[in-house]
């Protein structure tokens, strides 16, 4: 069961999605070209790859990381690792612009002094989706998550604390940022299958990156 939400805000507006969750419309619009260049440098070193879940499925979303820790999954389970299993090397460093955006977005949502140590980068192509999940592999659940959307639009599903709770459908566009923490930190969420709506800068791709404080 889905509940329609229409947070079609203007750049600079803040739509609450919960007591401690906000959609910051167009928050990174001034930086999107620079972010794209930084992401190209990161994926040149640690490419996007379609990982295998413990359930034996290959994810439709391509994934990589930057920061001291990176999120990975294989048939044995999920974990954070300092080493990219594909290259055997540390993940690329978190660029300063990423750290600044993460801190300022968190602050705008009411979370002071957010310093992430991990940034998970997802690439969606038409048809890719992310099933409902909780982000609960982080040791420090007092820190929020900051999630940046670039490229093609998507519908973010924002549920409750049980998988069966009804979900809100939240349109996320190029330049939008979602921040959530506090009592909303463990809510189920996912992304509906993307439709092909090519973007002038990113073509038929959506890039999402989420900053976390793991340790
Ligand atoms: C995405 N995002 O938007 C997937 N998780 O592509 C997430 O799974 C996510 O956006 C935690 C907090 C914010 C998010
Ligand atoms: Fe998530």
Q: Considering the chain, what is the average pLDDT of its residues?
A: 95
Q: Is 117 in the pocket of ligand 1 (CB under 6 A)?
A: no
Instruction: Report which protein residue has its CA nearest ligand 1's atom 13.
Output: 147
> Of all protein residues, whose CA lies closest to atom 6 belonging to ligand 1?
208
User: How many domains does the chain fold into?
Assistant: 1
**Residue 213 beta carbon below 6 angstroms from any ligand 1 atom:** no
For residue 208 and ligand 1, the question of a CB distance below 6 A is answered with yes
Per-residue pLDDT tens digits of the chain, which is 215 residues long: 444 455 578 899 999 999 999 999 999 999 999 999 999 999 999 999 999 999 999 999 999 999 999 999 888 889 999 999 999 999 999 999 999 999 999 999 999 999 999 999 999 999 999 999 999 999 889 999 999 999 999 999 999 999 999 999 999 999 999 999 999 999 999 999 999 999 999 999 999 999 999 99
Output the pLDDT for position 175: 98
pLDDT at 1: 41
Beta strand 70-74 with 77-81: parallel, antiparallel or unpaired? antiparallel
How are strands ordered across the β-sheet holding 62-67?
A: 14-18, 21-24, 177-180, 145-151, 206-212, 118-124, 62-67
Residue 94's CATH number: 2.60.120.590
**Ligand 1: residue whose CA is nearest its atom 10:** 147
Query: Looking at the CA of 179, which ligand is closest?
Result: 1
Contact 214, 82 (CB under 8 A): no
pLDDT tens sequence across 6-19:
557 889 999 999 99
Cβ 106 under 6 angstroms from ligand 1: no
pTM (2 d.p.): 0.95
Which range marks the domain in which residue 191 is found? 3-212
Share of the chain above pLDDT 70, in %: 96
Task: Look at residue 7 in the predicted model and tell me its pLDDT.
Answer: 59
Residue of the CA atom closest to atom 5 of ligand 1: 135
In the reported structure, the alpha carbon of residue 186 is separated from the centroid of ligand 2 by a whole-number distance in angstroms of: 9
């Amino acid at each position: 069961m889905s509940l329609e939400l229409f947070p079609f805000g203007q750049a600079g507006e803040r739509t609450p999605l919960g007591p401690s969750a906000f959609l910051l419309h167009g928050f990174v619009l001034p930086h999107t070209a620079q972010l794209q260049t930084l992401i190209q440098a990161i994926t040149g070193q640690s490419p996007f790859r379609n990982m295998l879940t413990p359930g034996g499925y290959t994810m439709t979303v391509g994934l990589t990381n930057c920061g001291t820790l990176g999120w990975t999954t294989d048939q044995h389970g999920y974990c954070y690792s300092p080493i990219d299993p594909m290259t055997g090397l540390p993940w690329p460093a978190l660029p300063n612009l990423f750290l600044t955006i993460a801190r300022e977005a968190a602050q705008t949502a009411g979370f002071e002094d957010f310093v992430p140590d991990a940034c998970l980068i997802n690439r969606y192509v038409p048809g890719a989706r992310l099933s409902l999940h909780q982000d609960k592999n982080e040791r420090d659940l007092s820190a929020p998550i900051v999630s940046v959307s670039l490229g093609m639009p998507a519908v973010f599903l924002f549920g409750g604390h049980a998988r069966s709770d009804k979900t809100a459908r939240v349109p996320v566009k190029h330049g939008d940022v979602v921040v959530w923490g506090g009592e909303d930190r463990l809510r189920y969420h996912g992304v509906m299958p993307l439709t092909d709506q090519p973007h002038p800068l990113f073509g038929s791709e959506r890039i999402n990156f989420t900053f976390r404080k793991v340790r």
